[in-house]
Amino acid sequence: MPHPSGGPSGTDTFPALCGHTHLFPGARCRVQGLADPDAFAAAPRPLDVDLRFSDGVLVAARLLTEPGEGSPLVLAVPAHTTAAGTRIDARAWRIRGLVVREGADVELVVGALPRS
């Protein structure tokens, strides 16, 4: 099933709510506004997301996919600063799972950083 090209209100970016002030292995972010969350979870595609952390900080990030079935998903997050002033370096986080939640959100479960 094809994915829509735009997010809410015709944008190309989707909101993603994160339960903490930063990412770490095991952290979760809920992507909202996907037209067909089940199809996205079954066959993810590159996606721009606005990560909203629990302290209110908003960071533009990108969910990336590698060619080939079974390839890992990676969430590329640029450097940013928490509301408390802590500087967070740019990182690419491996996504270890996607879970469709009630209310049509897709929850990303963050895994370890990919090895360089």
State the Cα–Cα distance between residues 114 and 92, nearest whole angstrom. 7
Choice between 21 and 104, residue whose per-residue pLDDT is larger: 21
* Section 87-113 average pLDDT: 88
Asked whether residue 10 carries a pLDDT value surpassing 50, the answer given is: no
Asked whether residue 69 carries a pLDDT value surpassing 80, the answer given is: no
Compute the Cα dihedral for 29, 48, 32, 45 and give only its sign. negative
Determine the pLDDT at residue 11.
54
Determine the pLDDT at residue 5.
42
Q: Is 98 buried (19+), middle (13-18) or exposed (0-12) by CB count in 10 A?
A: middle
